[in-house]
């Protein structure tokens, strides 16, 4: 505990000199840590009041209520009145791939040219030195899935932990998914002209695309069963889909398109994940019966149709919860992912319980990403990916991440924004709290 | 019969006349008298008067007399029209007949065309082209005329359908003669629209730009008359045309209101050509006091069999399908004067189908006739020549089988300027009836002919031992007939007959037959009586009921606009935003749209009491930076300075986001021009009064504002259209300063000139707005990001003598908060946005906190239709980042924006006397868990979470009802259109959105740029 305080003090004095660059990844956990007296949210729906949690060598060793046993030799963190949460997990994001969205093309690495790029891998472009990552981490997001965009098959993604020197360090589970953008009908922007009448209609164009996808996967599946004469990198990249080592993440919102996507995945024996799923509430039976999970793109969005319930996106998690569909949640873009806890909390006013909302961005996401054996809940044996908040972490008026641990490492919660806050508060002689 | 055929002959020779006196003749002159007497007809002289058994005399092109018992002078061709009708030919008040198609300009990327490139002494903007006149390019077009004539039209207005000021139109008949003879009026009307059409000039690219250009043109035209230095054909013509009828192609019902605002400002009266949506705001249409030209473009039903696909149809589209056919009838009922046009129909054949549909839905036949004859004639100043049947008028008339508007009616002939045009030659005798067939091998067969002249159905039957019944085909061509049918048995195979009408009493058809075996025989069929009426299957009456019009005409519109209530909210946590702070267990009383009292234990009096125990009540949320509820483009970015354009001109009261944001507690929004140029347009402060007209959204008595912008957007940094030259000044932050210095230098000179020369100075709407800024009558809200540019504008303002009221976005406000404080400039920022472009790479979520702590009036805004509906949470982030007190944090989205908008005397806090704009929250309003349960604007409960559930059910039920009706219509053979073709959604705007959709045919000037 003392060390932590000292560390905090150090920060204050050095910030003006170094800014951002002084935020170093933490050293490995060197001795056991026990957090006591906290309200512990396990992530699986359970809450322990006045609880303790112990971890050593990066793994959780004990969780329980009351006084922690065998605390000798451990650093004790008294967290009375505070909340402990599993680190939030942010799936399907461009965090670390994009630094400045527009007007600085050199900082944008989430999209490759061409339509079919299942072979490209996001992990190699993941920039651990991004100034955005610490701002996201400061709100309790400790793991993320940097994900490529664009084309029909965008590439493969990996899961990273957000405190690392380089991408190798950061890699938590690599090449877990291939990302597919399901074709949608794009109505023409201009009114049809006579010449257009004979041209391909948007509907026909889409059907053609669907055929191409079907053909590609069918061929890839056959390719996967034998040693080929000529290596095809695209097919190689898809192999994992057919042996279950990779999932197919499908970006799709419409009910009809979701049906098509699930049908294709079934036909090919692929594990599919629906990403987006705005109209998933219309096809819950299909999703449940086929065990296809949905990663909701965002709750803080507008309904797709003017006629929809104005709160429909806020209610979507509750609808999927009640229907027994497996679901998780992400947000949009990269810097906005610091709002992930609020995207989750948003559903609480509309029927979800707080603990269900928490599960949505912890264990649910972990399961969908296939990392639930090591993280997603605060259970013995899992990685010590967790943080202490002064108050309810899903609500902006109480979120206050004071300490965070990734694999037991006590990470630095400073960021560019805090530094600039302090710099200019100092200039004006006002209090930065 | 014979006579009719004869006169058909005469027309073929096409040789008349004395009218064309200036043309030499090749060969022997062939002047024919053109004298006709049409006798024994039912003559509908006009919508008021019908003559039974009347006679119409025409002499060459002109009607000589109309009446009963007229003696027919010698030398007349007599046409007996016993049992038939004569009507005045119809007039189409809105066509492009006789004109070349407007060229569609190819999209050539972003070409910079700031000024007209048209050679000649014309005006600066190609969209203002009053110098165009149809009379000099009109050329009659036989094949196009035919389509009109088949529908019964005899004359049309022909106009140039391209541009904003479109010049003069003509009224011409549809005669197939020299142009000199068909033009009835060379300058019938001056025509206008909001669409710049093929004009290459970049400006305007938005609806508000079009409106500003029209307003400026009126001012320029006034000035032109009083000056001597400039010759300008466009302005001279514009002035000259002011005495003509003024026709404005407006579009939908809100467009009519926009055009009418211009009309009222400049003392004009427009005739509105519309899309036929008047029913959506009939009272407002009536209140314009104008006449209308309405189309019959009723939408087809949609394919709704696939329920998922059917979800792509908007409620508005469903309602429109049901209600649009009622529009003409509702116009009539409202007492609005209107003409009907065939303009806009996909197929000319739809004209009569749709007109009859309108009549089925309640349009009276008399009104239909007026709207197609007398009214357009009056509108276009040609009622001395066409529109009714009277001596001296043009011989433009129809010969019909029946009452013109009856379903069975057939238009036989359409005489245009005394020349016959045969629409349906089979006019003489209706052949429907039963016939006895005779001839070798044909005996015992009865023929049943049903249908109308022009289209008959045949069935053949034999009774007795070999009883058989078969459908056949009956083709008539003048007096000739062809029939065939297959009896399947005795004989089997097709029997083919051809013949002619050999006798009319009894009606007898005679001719030769070819039997299935190839043998020939003679046949005749003698009329034995009418087809029994019982066999006419009575068409089931169409379902003419329709659902209510809702206000606005959109999902969640109300059939009745809700009214202000007197309410006492009991026992809530009340966030006053006043010195009383947050009061627990307190009451709020509202009455007459105002807050009457805030405090503990208030007495209810006659107020409705709402128990708000456990709830929180705050003032309504005020969004300082929004782009909802505006239409036709949010940016007029084609020039660096566009202070003349006004968001207030293009408010869209039907934007669903008004309602959605009520559901997030928003009651007031400041609708801003975008950020494409350094001086953008004038803004408008509105309240979320869901269901009122655009003008009624405006917050009365609010000070005027204008949008300025700095940085990457105005210097077009992130425009990346390949090969597109970015040459509009400025392209750097250095240039931005000079735009301001130049604009305000010009404004000062203008102001000085006005002071000296008064009315002789050309009024300039752009500079007027800048002068208002110099006089502190209009306030600036300036889009801004980095400290250098913020500092720059403060300096320019100081040196030019104006004030910056608000920096909006102001993400580096924390770096210059001291300067802002010193200058009394407010900051309206985002809670936590950053990293979306280079100029926000040092934006921090503590920005609001630092500005606030430095004494700057600070707000959080949305610039986003989604974020706007949870601004309460955005305020909550001031607690997350910087630990602002909750009381102060709420003010970021209520009182503080009200202050910076100069309306804190009306809104922004809960205080007796202020507007009753308030929100009842389920819990602490800054919390992520807060739900806006009720939202009041001016005491009107526009949002109620509980009632919304019922509303959703109603909406669903109404949609389902209409869909059932569509299915029924499709089953009965109605044509349908696929669902989901074309956009159903209105575009949403933020600062960077540059879009000119409907207002620019030629110029896809910009795509949509998304981001702040």
Task: Quick: pLDDT tens for B24-42.
Answer: 887 887 777 889 999 999 9
Predicted TM-score (pTM) of this structure: 0.90
Q: How far is B948 from chain A (nearest CA, A)?
A: 8
Sheet strand arrangement including B270-274: B165-168, B190-193, B246-251, B270-274, B292-294, B338-340
Q: Confidence band (pLDDT; 50, 70, 90) for B543?
A: confident
Whether residue B834 lies within 8 A of chain A, CB to CB, comes out as: yes
pLDDT band at B461 (very low <50, low <70, confident <90, very high): confident
Co-location of B834 and B792 in the same domain: yes
Structure confidence at residue B974 (pLDDT) = 85
| Banded pLDDT at A240 (limits 50, 70, 90) | very high
Most confident of the following: A130-144, B96-110, B962-976, B985-999: A130-144
Q: Which residue has the higher pLDDT, B379 or A188?
A: B379
* Least Cα separation, residue B864 to chain A (angstroms): 11
Q: How confident is the model at residue A227 (pLDDT cuts 50, 70, 90)?
A: confident
Position A200 confidence tier, pLDDT thresholds 50, 70, 90: confident
Judged by CB atoms closer than 8 Å, whether chains meet at B866 and A301 is answered as yes
CA pair distance B491, B487, nearest whole angstrom: 7
Shortest CA distance from B311: residue in chain A: A305
Residue pLDDT, tens place only, B380-426: 999 999 999 999 999 999 999 999 999 889 899 999 999 999 987 65
pLDDT at A8: 40
Task: Encode pLDDT of A252-298 as tens digits.
Answer: 999 999 999 999 999 999 999 999 999 999 999 999 999 999 999 99
CATH code of B820's domain: 3.20.20.140
From chain A, pick out residues whose CB is under 8 angstroms from the CB of B832: 338-339
Q: Look at residue B140 and tell me whether its pLDDT is greater than 90.
A: yes
| pLDDT of amino acid B16 | 46
Chain A residues whose CB is inside 8 A of the B1004 CB are 190
Query: Would you state the pLDDT for residue B486?
Result: 87
Q: Do B853 and A417 touch (CB under 8 A)?
A: no
pLDDT at B454 over 90: no
Average pLDDT over residues B839-852: 97
Q: How far is CA B374 from CA B94, B403, B800, in A?
A: 15, 18, 60
Q: B659 vs A104: CB contact, 8 Å cut-off? A: no
Give yes or no: residues B744 and B651 share one domain: yes
Same domain, B666 and B519: no
Model confidence at B722: pLDDT above 70: no
Range in A190-194, B8-12, B76-80 with the lowest mean pLDDT = B8-12
* B785–chain A nearest CA distance, Å: 15
Residue of higher predicted confidence among B801 and B7: B801
Q: Which residues of A touch B663 (CB under 8 A)?
A: 310-311
For residue B952, the SS3 value is helix
> Smallest Cβ distance to B928: which of A307, A394, A433?
A394
pLDDT classification of B492: cutoffs 50, 70, 90:
confident
Say yes or no to pLDDT of B1012 above 70: no
CB contact under 8 A, B929 and A338: no
CA angle, residues B256, B259, B265, in degrees to nearest 5:
135
Share above pLDDT 70 across residues of chain B, in percent, rounded to a whole number: 92
From the list B712, B845, B924, the residue facing A103 with the nearest CB is B712
Q: Which of A9-18, A189-198, A295-304, B709-718 has the highest mean pLDDT?
A: A295-304
Q: Residue A132: closest CA among chain B residues belongs to which residue?
A: B835
User: For residues A106 and A110, what is the distance between their CA atoms, to the nearest angstrom?
Assistant: 11
Tell me the count of A-B CB pairs closer than 8 A. 149
CB A53 within 8 Å of CB A63 = yes
Comparing alpha-carbon positions, the chain A residue that sits nearest to B309 is: A256
Residues B402 and B528 reside in one and the same domain: no
Inter-chain CB proximity B881 and A338 less than 8 Å: no
Between CA A136 and CA A338 the distance in angstroms is 4
What is residue A196's predicted lDDT score, i.e. its pLDDT?
54
Residue B5 covered by a domain:
yes
Task: Kindly state whether B719 is in contact with chain A, defined as any CB-CB distance less than 8 angstroms.
Answer: no
Q: What is the pLDDT of residue B453?
A: 66
The pLDDT tens digits of the residues spanning B867-910 come to 999 999 999 999 999 999 999 999 999 999 999 999 999 999 99
Domain contains B274: no
Contacts of B886 in chain A (CB under 8 A): 397
pLDDT computed for residue B538 by the predictor: 59
Contact of B841 with chain A, judged by CB distance below 8 Å, is answered with: yes
Residues of chain A with Cβ-Cβ distance to B866 below 8 Å are 300-302
The CATH superfamily of A89-181+232-374 is Metal-dependent hydrolases (3.20.20.140)
Q: Which of B103, B195, B929, B992 should one mutate to test binding to chain A, selecting the residue with the greatest count of A CBs within 10 A?
A: B929
Is the CB of residue B982 less than 8 Å away from at least one CB of chain A? yes
Of A193, A309, A395, the CB nearest to B952: A309
Boundary-marking domain end, from B938, B965, B988: B938
Nearest residue of chain B to residue A309 (CA atoms): B952
Q: With an 8 Å Cβ cutoff, are A310 and B882 in contact? A: no
Model pLDDT for residues B219-233, shown as the tens digit of each residue: 999 999 999 999 999
Last residue of a domain, which of B938, B966, B986? B938
* CA separation for the pair B691, A323 (Å, rounded): 36
pLDDT confidence of residue B361: 96
* B997 pLDDT more than 50: no
Residue of chain A with shortest Cα separation from B981: A187
- Which residues in chain B have their CB less than 8 angstroms from residue A309's CB? 948, 952
Whether A101 and B876 lie within 8 Å, measured CB to CB: no
Q: How far is A68 from A33, CA to CA, in rounded Å? A: 11
According to the model, what pLDDT value does residue B531 have? 82
Q: Taking CB atoms and an 8 Å limit, are A396 and B927 in contact across chains?
A: yes
pLDDT at B164: 97
Averaged confidence pLDDT in chain A: 92
Residues of A whose CB is below 8 A from B884: none
Residues B879 and B780 in one domain: yes
Give the tens place of pLDDT for each residue, B154-177: 999 999 999 999 999 999 999 988
* pLDDT reading at A4 higher than 70: no
Continuous H helices in B824-926: 847-853, 871-880, 886-891, 895-900
Pair (B408, B482) in one structural domain: no
Q: Give the residue from B656, B928, B944, B983 with the most A CB atoms within 10 Å of its CB, the best one to mutate.
A: B928
Q: What percent of chain A has pLDDT over 70?
A: 92
Take residue A206 and report the two structure tokens written for it. Answer: 């889409």
Residue A2 has pLDDT above 90, yes or no: no
How much of chain B, in percent, has pLDDT values that exceed 90?
76
**Confidence class of residue B952 from pLDDT cuts 50, 70 and 90?**
very high
Of the candidate ranges A59-63, B252-256, B660-664, B968-972, the one whose mean pLDDT is the lowest: B968-972
Q: For chain B, what is the mean pLDDT?
A: 91
Query: pLDDT at position B726, please?
Result: 58
Q: Is residue B973 part of a domain?
A: no
For range B456-473, the mean pLDDT = 84
| Residues B407, B475 share a domain | no
Q: How far apart are CA B979 and CA B306, in angstroms?
A: 9
- Asked if B437 has any chain A CB less than 8 Å from its own CB, the reply is no
Clarify whether residues B516 and B642 are in a common domain.
Answer: no
Contacts of A337 in chain B (CB under 8 A): none
Query: Looking at the structure, do residues B709 and B756 belong to the same domain, yes or no?
Result: yes
What does the pLDDT look like over A390-401, one tens digit per residue?
999 999 999 999
Complex ipTM more than 0.90, yes or no: yes
Secondary structure string (H, E, C) spanning chain A = CHHHHHHHHHHHHHHHHHHHHHCCCCCCCCCCEEEEEEEEECCCCCEEEEEEEEEECCEEEEEEECCCCCCCCCEEEECCCCEEEECEEEEEECECCECCCECCHHHECCECCCCECCCCEHHHHCCCCCCHHHHHHCCCEEEEEECCECCCEEEEEEEEECCCCCHHHHEEEEEEEEEEECCCCCCCCCCCCHHHHHCCCHHHHHHHHHHHHHHHHHHHHHHHCCCCCCCCHHHHHHHHHHCCCCEEEEEECCHHHHHHHHHHHHHHCCCEEEEECCCHHHCHHHHHHCCCCEEECCCCCCCCCCCCCCCHHHHHHHHHHHHCCCEEECCCCCHHHHHHHHHHHCCHHHCCCHHHHHHHCCHHHHHHHCCCCCCCCCCCCCECCEEEECCCCCCCCCCCEEEEEECCEECCCCCHHHHHHHHHHHHHCCCCC
Give pLDDT, residue B990.
65
Smallest CA–CA separation between B880 and chain A, in Å?
5
Q: How confident is the model at residue B110, as a pLDDT?
A: 56
Q: What average pLDDT does the segment B67-75 reach? A: 92
One domain, residues B438 and B414: no
| B72: β partners | none
Residues in B touching A20 (Cβ below 8 Å): none
Q: Are strands B806-809 and B246-251 parallel, antiparallel or unpaired?
A: unpaired
Report pLDDT for A13. Answer: 42
B975 band by pLDDT with thresholds 50, 70 and 90: confident
Would you state the pLDDT for residue B540? 65
pLDDT value for B957: 96
Q: Measure CB to CB from residue B886 to each of A132, A335, A397 and give the nearest one.
A: A397
Residue of A nearest to B833 (CA): A336
State whether residue B386 is helix, strand or coil. coil
Q: B410 and B506 in one domain?
A: no
Cβ of residue B647 closer than 8 Å to a chain A Cβ:
no
Q: Are residues B682 and B755 in the same domain?
A: yes
Q: Inter-chain contact B846–A132, Cβ cutoff 8 Å?
A: no
What pLDDT sits at residue B7?
A: 41
Domains held by chain B: number? 3
Task: Read off the tokens for B940.
Answer: 């009107």
Cβ contacts of A394 on chain B, cutoff 8 Å? 928
B789 domain-assigned: yes
**pLDDT at residue A188, as a whole number:** 57
Mean pLDDT of B825-854: 97
Residue A373: is its pLDDT beyond 60?
A: yes
Q: Which of B309, B311, B836 sits opposite A305 (nearest CB)?
A: B311
- Quickly state the pLDDT bin for B464 (edges 50, 70, 90): confident
- Which chain A residues are Cβ-neighbours of B656 within 8 angstroms? 306
Q: Is B344 on the interface with A (CB under 8 A)?
A: no
Q: Which of residues 918-957 of B touch A (CB under 8 A)?
A: 922, 924, 926-931, 948, 952, 955
- A102, A187, A396 ranked by CB distance to B873: nearest: A396
Range of B14's domain? 1-19+29-83+389-420
Residues of A in contact with B854 (CB under 8 A): 428, 430
pLDDT at B566: 98
Q: Please tell me which residue, B486 or B888, carries the higher pLDDT value.
A: B888
Q: Which of B554, B656, B837 sits opposite A100 (nearest CB)?
A: B837
- pLDDT bin (cut points 50, 70, 90) of residue B3 is very low
Instruction: Name chain A contacts of B846, Cβ cutoff 8 Å.
Output: 417-418, 420-421, 432
Tell me the mean pLDDT in the region A165-185.
96
**pLDDT, greater one: B462 or B369:** B369
């Amino acid at each position: 505990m003392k060390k932590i305080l000292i560390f905090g003090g150090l920060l204050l004095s050095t910030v003006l000199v170094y800014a951002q660059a002084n935020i170093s990844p933490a050293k490995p956990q060197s001795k056991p840590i026990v957090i006591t007296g906290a309200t512990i949210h396990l992530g699986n729906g359970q809450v322990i009041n006045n609880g303790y949690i112990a971890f050593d060598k990066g793994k959780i060793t004990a969780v329980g209520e009351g006084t922690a046993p065998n605390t000798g030799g451990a650093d004790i963190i008294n967290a009375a009145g505070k909340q402990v949460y599993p680190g939030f997990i942010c799936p399907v994001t461009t965090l670390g791939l994009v630094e400045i969205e527009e007007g600085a093309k050199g900082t944008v690495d989430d999209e490759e040219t061409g339509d079919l790029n299942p072979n490209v891998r996001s992990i190699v472009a993941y920039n651990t030195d991004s100034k955005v990552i610490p701002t996201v981490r400061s709100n309790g997001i400790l793991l993320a899935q940097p994900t490529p965009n664009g084309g029909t098959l965008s590439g493969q993604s990996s899961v990273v932990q957000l405190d690392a020197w380089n991408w190798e360090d950061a890699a938590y589970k690599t090449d877990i998914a291939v990302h597919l953008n399901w074709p949608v009908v794009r109505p023409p922007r201009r009114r049809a002209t006579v010449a257009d009448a004979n041209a391909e209609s948007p509907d026909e164009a889409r059907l053609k695309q669907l055929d191409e996808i079907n053909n590609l996967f069918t061929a890839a599946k056959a390719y996967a069963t034998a040693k080929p004469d000529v290596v095809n990198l695209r097919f190689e990249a898809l192999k994992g889909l057919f042996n279950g080592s990779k999932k197919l993440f499908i970006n799709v919102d419409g009910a009809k398109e979701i049906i098509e996507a699930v049908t294709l995945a079934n036909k090919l024996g692929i594990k599919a994940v629906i990403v987006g799923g705005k109209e998933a509430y219309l096809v819950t039976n299909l999703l449940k019966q086929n065990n296809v999970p949905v990663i909701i793109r965002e709750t803080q969005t507008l309904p797709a149709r003017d006629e929809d319930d104005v709160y429909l996106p806020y209610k979507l998690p509750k609808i999927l919860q009640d229907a027994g569909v497996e679901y998780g949640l992400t947000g949009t873009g990269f810097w906005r992912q610091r709002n992930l806890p609020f995207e989750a909390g948003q559903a609480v006013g509309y029927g979800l319980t707080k603990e269900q909302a928490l599960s949505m961005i912890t264990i649910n996401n972990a399961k969908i990403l296939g990392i639930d054996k090591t993280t997603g809940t605060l259970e013995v044996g899992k990685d010590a990916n967790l943080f202490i908040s002064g108050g309810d972490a899903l609500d902006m008026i109480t979120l206050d991440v004071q300490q965070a641990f990734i694999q037991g490492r006590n990470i630095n919660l400073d960021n560019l924004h805090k530094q600039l806050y302090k710099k200019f508060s100092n200039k004006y002689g006002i209090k930065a709290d | 019969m014979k006579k009719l055929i004869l006169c058909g002959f005469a027309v073929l020779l096409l040789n008349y006349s004395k009218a064309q006196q200036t043309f030499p003749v090749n060969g022997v002159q062939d002047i024919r008298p053109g004298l006709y007497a049409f006798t024994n007809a039912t003559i509908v002289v006009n919508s008021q008067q019908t003559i039974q058994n009347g006679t119409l005399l025409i002499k060459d092109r002109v009607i000589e007399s109309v009446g009963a018992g007229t003696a027919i002078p010698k030398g007349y061709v007599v046409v007996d029209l016993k049992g038939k009708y004569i009507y005045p030919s119809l007039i189409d008040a809105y066509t492009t007949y006789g004109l070349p198609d407007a060229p569609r300009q190819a999209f050539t990327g972003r070409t910079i065309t700031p000024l007209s490139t048209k050679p000649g002494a014309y005006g600066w903007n190609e969209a203002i082209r009053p110098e165009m006149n149809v009379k000099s390019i009109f050329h009659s077009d036989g094949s196009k005329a035919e389509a009109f004539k088949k529908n019964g039209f005899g004359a049309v207005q022909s106009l140039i359908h391209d541009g904003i000021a479109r010049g003069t139109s003509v009224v011409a008949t549809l005669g197939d003669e020299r142009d000199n003879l068909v033009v009835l009026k060379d300058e019938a009307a001056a025509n206008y629209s909001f669409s710049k059409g093929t004009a290459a000039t970049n400006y305007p690219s938005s609806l508000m730009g079009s409106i500003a250009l029209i307003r400026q043109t009126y001012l320029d035209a006034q000035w032109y008359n009083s000056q001597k230095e400039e010759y300008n054909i466009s302005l001279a013509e514009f002035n000259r045309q002011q005495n003509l009828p003024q026709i404005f192609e407006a579009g939908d019902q809100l467009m009519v209101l926009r055009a009418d605002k211009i009309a009222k400002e400049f003392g004009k009266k427009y005739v509105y050509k519309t899309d036929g949506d008047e029913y959506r705001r009939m009272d407002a249409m009536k209140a314009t006091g104008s006449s209308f030209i309405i189309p019959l473009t009723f939408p087809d039903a949609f394919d709704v069999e696939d329920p998922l696909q059917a979800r792509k149809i908007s409620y508005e589209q469903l309602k429109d399908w049901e209600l649009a056919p009622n529009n003409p009838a509702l116009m009539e009922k409202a007492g609005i004067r209107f003409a009907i046009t065939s303009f806009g129909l996909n197929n000319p054949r739809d004209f009569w189908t749709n007109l009859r549909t309108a009549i089925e839905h309640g349009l009276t036949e008399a009104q239909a006739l007026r709207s197609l004859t007398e009214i357009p004639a009056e509108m276009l100043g040609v009622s001395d020549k066409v529109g009714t049947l009277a001596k001296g008028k043009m011989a433009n008339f129809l010969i019909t089988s029946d009452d013109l508007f009856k379903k069975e009616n057939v238009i036989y002939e359409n005489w245009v300027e005394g020349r016959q045009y045969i629409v349906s030659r089979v006019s003489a005798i209706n052949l429907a009836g039963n016939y006895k067939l005779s001839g070798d091998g044909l005996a015992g067969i009865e023929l049943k002919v049903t249908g109308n002249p022009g289209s008959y159905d045949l069935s053949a039957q034999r009774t007795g031992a070999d009883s058989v019944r078969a459908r056949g085909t009956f083709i008539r061509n003048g007096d000739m007939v062809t029939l065939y049918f297959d009896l399947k048995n005795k004989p089997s195979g097709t029997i083919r007959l051809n013949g002619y009408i050999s006798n009319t009493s009894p009606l007898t058809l005679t001719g030769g037959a070819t039997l299935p075996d190839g043998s020939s025989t003679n046949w005749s069929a003698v009329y034995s009586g009418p087809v029994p009426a019982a066999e006419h299957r009575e068409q089931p009456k169409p379902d003419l009921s329709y659902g209510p019009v809702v206000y606005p005409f959109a999902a969640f519109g109300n059939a009745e606009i809700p009214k202000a209530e007197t309410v006492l909210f009991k026992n809530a946590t009340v966030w006053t935003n006043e010195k009383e702070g947050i009061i627990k267990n307190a009451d709020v009383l509202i009455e007459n749209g105002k807050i009457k009292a805030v405090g503990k234990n208030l007495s209810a009096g006659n107020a409705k009491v709402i128990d708000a125990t456990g709830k929180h009540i705050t003032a309504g949320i005020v969004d300082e930076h929004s782009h909802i509820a505006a239409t036709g483009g949010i940016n007029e970015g084609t020039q660096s300075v566009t202070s003349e354009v006004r968001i207030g001109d293009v408010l869209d009261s039907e934007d669903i986001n008004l309602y959605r944001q009520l559901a997030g507690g928003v009651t007031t929004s400041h609708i801003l021009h975008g950020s494409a140029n350094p001086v953008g347009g004038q803004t408008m402060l509105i309240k979320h009064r869901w269901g009122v007209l655009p003008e009624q959204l405006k917050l009365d008595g609010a000070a005027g504002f204008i949008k300025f912008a700095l940085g990457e957007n105005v210097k077009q940094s992130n425009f990346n259209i390949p090969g597109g030259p970015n040459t509009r000044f400025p392209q750097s932050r250095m240039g931005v300063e000079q735009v301001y210095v130049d604009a305000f230098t010009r404004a000062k000179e203008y102001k000085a000139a006005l002071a000296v020369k008064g009315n002789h100075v050309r009024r300039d709407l752009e500079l007027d707005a800048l002068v208002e800024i110099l006089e502190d009558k209009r306030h600036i809200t300036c889009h801004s990001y980095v400290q250098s540019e913020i500092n720059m504008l403060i300096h320019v303002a100081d040196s030019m003598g104006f004030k910056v009221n608000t920096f909006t976005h102001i993400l580096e406000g924390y770096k210059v908060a001291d300067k802002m404080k010193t200058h009394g400039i407010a900051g309206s920022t985002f809670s936590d946005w950053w990293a979306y472009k280079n100029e926000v790479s040092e934006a921090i979520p503590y920005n609001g906190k630092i500005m606030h702590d430095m004494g700057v009036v600070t707000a959080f805004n949305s610039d986003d239709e989604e974020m706007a509906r949870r601004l309460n949470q955005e305020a909550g982030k001031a607690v997350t980042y910087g630990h602002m007190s909750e009381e102060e944090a709420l003010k970021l989205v209520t009182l503080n924006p009200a202050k910076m908008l100069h309306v804190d005397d009306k809104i922004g806090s809960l205080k007796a006397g202020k507007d009753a704009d308030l929100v009842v929250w389920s819990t602490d309003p800054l919390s992520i868990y807060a739900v806006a349960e009720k939202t009041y604007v001016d005491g009107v409960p526009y949002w109620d979470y509980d009632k919304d559930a019922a509303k959703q059910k109603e909406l669903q039920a109404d949609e389902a009802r209409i869909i059932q009706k569509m299915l029924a219509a499709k089953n009965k053979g109605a044509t349908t259109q696929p669902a989901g073709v074309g956009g159903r959604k209105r575009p949403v705007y933020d600062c960077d959105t540059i879009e000119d959709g409907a207002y620019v045919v030629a110029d896809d000037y910009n795509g949509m740029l998304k981001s702040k």
